[in-house]
Amino acid sequence: MSTSDQEMQKAGEGAKRRSIFTPRTQRLLSIGFVAILLICAAVAPFRLSGYWVRVLTGMFMYAALASSLNIILGYTGYADFGNIVYFGMGAYVTGVLMVTWRVPLPLAMLAGGLFCSLFAIIIGLPILRLKGNYFAIATLGLSQAMREIVRNMRITGGGMGLSLPLLRVDPRVFNLIVYFMMLGILAGVVIISYVVSHSRFGYGLRAIKADENGAAVMGIDTTKWKVRAWAITAFCTGIVGGAYAFWFVYFTPPDVFEILMSTKYLVMVYLGGIGTVAGPVIGAFLLEFISDYVWGRFLQIHVGVLGAAIVLIVLFMPKGFIHMVRSRILPLLTRAGAHEERS
C-alpha cells in the first residue's frame, strides 16, 4: 500500500471516529426515540382533552394508511391512486360481518383485511402488468367502480349506508378504545413495513422500482412480487378500514370510497419521505397537524392556506422530511461535533 493510500485510509478512519452519528449510534437513537414516542402515546389520552384524543386517533389512522400505501408506492414504485378501494372494502366487510352474522370485531376486521388481500391478488394479476400512468388510471377507475357496486348492493345497505352495533360504553371510554386500537394498528403496519424493507423481498421490490426489466433479467418474477406487495398493502389498508367502520359506526359509500382521502395519504407518503419506514408516519403527522392548525385559524380560506403551506414544504423539502434530515441536518451536526473535537 502506497503512502498516499495509507494517508487516505487514516483520514477515513479519523472521520469515522469524529462522526457522532455512526450507524450503531443512529440505530440506538432510533430505538430510544421510538420507545419515548410509544410511552408518550400511551400516556397522552389520559392527559389530553377529548378533542385532541380524536385528532391523534385520526393521525394514527392516516399514518397507518400512508405506511400501507408506501409498500406498493415507495418500495415498488407503483403509484396506486385508488388505494382507497381497500379501505372501503375493509370497512364494508367488517360492517356486514358484524351486522349480519354478529361476528366479533377482531375477527371481522381480520376477515376484511384478508378479503382485501385476496381481491388484490385476483385483480392484481392483470392490472399490475400495466405501468406508470396506465396503472394509476386503472386503480382510480377500480375504486370508483367499486363504490358504485357497493352503492347498489342490498347487503351493504346501498346508498343509505350501513350502521354498526353501537358499543354501549361511556363516550370517553369509547374514544380511548378506538385510540389504542388505531395506535396498535399503526404499530403493526410500521413493523410490517420495516420487515418488508429489510428483507430479501424488499430489496427485490426496490430492484423492480429501479429497473423492472433489469430485475426480470436477474431472475425476479416481477408480476408475482408486485402482486405480493399489493396484497400486503391491501391487507393493511383493509384492517384500517375496519377500524374506521367501528369508530364512526355509520358510513355510506362516498364516506369510505372518497378519492380525495386516498390522494391525501398519498401526499403524506411523499411529504415524509417515499420509500422509507418512518417517512409516511412523519408525513401523516405533519400534514394532519398543519391541516388542524390552518382549519382552526383560517376557517374561510383554510383550503387555500393549506395548499400554500404544502407548496412551501415541497419547495424546501422536495424529497421529503427524512431526506432533508439525512442530507442536511445530520451532516451539519456531524461537522459541528468534529469541530468541537478538534478545538
For 170-220, how does the pLDDT look when each residue is reduced to its tens digit (9 = 90+)? 999 999 999 999 999 999 999 999 999 999 999 999 999 999 999 999 999
Q: Which amino acid is at 2?
A: S
Q: What is the pLDDT of residue 143?
A: 94
State mean pLDDT over 104-110.
97
Q: Judge whether residue 286 has pLDDT over 80.
A: yes
pTM, to two decimals: 0.90
As a whole-number percent, the residues of the chain with pLDDT over 90 amount to: 68
> What pLDDT does 17 receive?
46
Give CA–CA dist 197/137, Å, rounded: 27
> For residues 314 and 209, what is the distance between their CA atoms, to the nearest angstrom?
22
Amino acid, res. 106: P
Where are the chain's structural domains? 51-257
E-assigned strand segments in the chain: 162-163, 250-251
Window from 121-125, 267-271, 302-306 with minimum mean pLDDT? 302-306
- Distance CA(328)–CA(317), nearest Å, equals 11
pLDDT of residue 276: 94
State the residue for C-alpha cell 375493509. 90
pLDDT class for 31, splitting at 50, 70, 90? confident
Please choose, from the candidates 96, 123, 93, the residue with its C-alpha nearest in 3D space to the C-alpha of residue 110. 93
Selected residue with higher pLDDT from 297 and 342: 297
What the block records as the C-alpha cell of 98 is 358484524
Phi, psi dihedrals of residue 250, rounded to the nearest 5°: -120, 135
Q: How many residues make up the chain in this entry?
A: 343
On the question of pLDDT at 332 being above 80, the answer is no
Helix 279-297 crosses helix 171-197 at what angle (to 10 degrees)? 140
Confidence (pLDDT) at 182: 98
Give me the chain's average pLDDT, please: 88
